[in-house]
């Protein structure tokens, strides 16, 4: 068990997603179909704290700003096309108040963080034995 703020377990996949997005729903379906257990955190139902968002960004080796979909219509409506909020604190507040602006679902597998850009991305982060997907369909 990781002792960070986010509860993770090496026997489970932790999925952080927003069920209000197509990518979030599709990724949840992929993760749910794997043979590993799942700890799903739906940002539309569960408040993710600033500390947790910071831990996610650090796990992805990126910044808080990278976690936000700046092309999302809600973001553009409120902040315009060319925005630079100057500090991470402002981006944290955006994610805390508008989690639907999350750029990508995040999976944590064996303590490693991955941003999911396509639902099928998830499979490449699993051991072949736990994917629930045949790697050799001929057998």
Domain boundaries, given as residue ranges, for the chain = 48-125
* pLDDT > 60? residue 134: no
CA 62, CA 81: separation in Å to the nearest integer? 21
Provide the whole-model pTM: 0.82
* Residue (of 126, 125, 64, 116) closest to 91 by Cα position: 64
What 3-state DSSP class applies to 78? Answer: helix
**How do residues 69-92 score in pLDDT, each as one tens digit?**
988 888 888 877 766 666 788 889
Mean pLDDT, all residues of the chain: 82
Distance CA(112)–CA(35), nearest Å, equals: 18
Share of the chain above pLDDT 90, in %: 45
Query: Average pLDDT, stretch 79-107?
Result: 84
Phi-psi region of 133 (alpha: psi -120 to 50; beta: other; left: phi over 0): beta
The tokens for 47 are 């408040």
Closest CA to 129 of 32, 34, 29: 34
State the Cα–Cα distance between residues 76 and 125, nearest whole angstrom.
32
């Amino acid at each position: 068990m990781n002792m960070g703020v986010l509860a993770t377990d090496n026997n489970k996949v932790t999925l952080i997603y927003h069920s209000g997005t197509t990518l979030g729903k599709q990724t949840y379906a992929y993760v749910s179909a794997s043979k590993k257990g799942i700890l799903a955190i739906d940002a539309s139902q569960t408040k993710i704290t600033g500390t947790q968002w910071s831990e996610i960004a650090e796990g992805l080796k990126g910044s808080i700003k990278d976690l936000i979909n700046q092309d999302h219509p809600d973001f553009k409506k409120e902040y315009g096309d060319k925005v630079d909020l100057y500090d991470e604190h402002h981006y944290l507040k955006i994610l805390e108040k508008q989690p639907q602006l999350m750029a990508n679902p995040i999976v944590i597998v064996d303590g490693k963080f991955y941003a999911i850009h396509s639902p099928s991305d998830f499979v490449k982060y699993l051991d072949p034995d736990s994917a629930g997907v045949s790697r050799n369909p001929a057998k």
